[in-house]
Chains A and B, each alone.
Chain A
Amino acid sequence: MKKKILMTGNEAVAQGAIDAGCTFYAGYPITPQNELTAYMAVHMPGKPGIFIQAESELAAINMVYGASAAGARAMTSSSSPGISLKQEGISYIAGAELPAVIVNVMRAGPGLGNITPAQSDYFQATRGGGHGDYHLIVLAPASVQEAYDQMFLSFDLADKYRAPVMVLGDGMLGQMMEPLQLSAVSFQPSAENKKPWALTGCAGRSPNVIKSFYMDTNELEKFNLNLQKKYALIRQKEQRWEEIFLKDAKTIIVAYGSMARIARSAVHALRGKGKKVGLIRPITLWPFPEKAFTKHLTSNTRYLAVEMSYGQMLEDVQLAVGKAKVDFLGRAGGGVPSEEDIIRRVNG
Chain B
Amino acid sequence: MTEKIIIAGSGGQGIMLLGKVIAETAMRENKFVTWLPAYGAEVRGGAAHCAVIISDTEIGSPLIDKADTLIAMNALSIIKFQNRIKNKGLLILNSSLIHQFKKAKVDILECPCTEIAEGLGNNKVANMVALGAYLAKKTVIPIRAAQEAINEMAPADKKALVEINIKALQEGAKSANG
Contact = CB atoms under 8 A, between A and B. Distances in A.
B100 interface: no
Interface stretch (B7-15, B34-42, B71-79, B110-118): B34-42
A22 B151 CA distance: 33
Contact of B60 (A31, A175, A179, A339): A339
A262 interface: yes
B63 interface: yes
B36 A175 contact: yes
Interface residues of B, number: 18
Given A175-B36, A176-B34, A6 B27 contact: yes
A171 B40 CA distance: 10
Contacts of A261: 59-62
B20 A339 contact: no
Nearest to A174: B39
B27 A4 contact: yes
Given A6-B35, A177-B34, A179-B33, A339 B27 contact: no
B34 A178 contact: yes
B35 A339 contact: no
Contact of A262 (B33, B37, B61): B61
Interface footprint category on A: 20 to 34
A6 B59 CA distance: 15
B23 interface: yes
B56 interface: no
Most interface-central of B35, B36, B39, B65 (chain A CB within 10 A):
B39
B24 interface: yes
A223 B107 CA distance: 69
A264 B60 contact: yes
Nearest to B38: A175
A169 to B, nearest CB: 13
Interface of B: 20, 23-24, 27, 32-37, 39-40, 59-63, 65
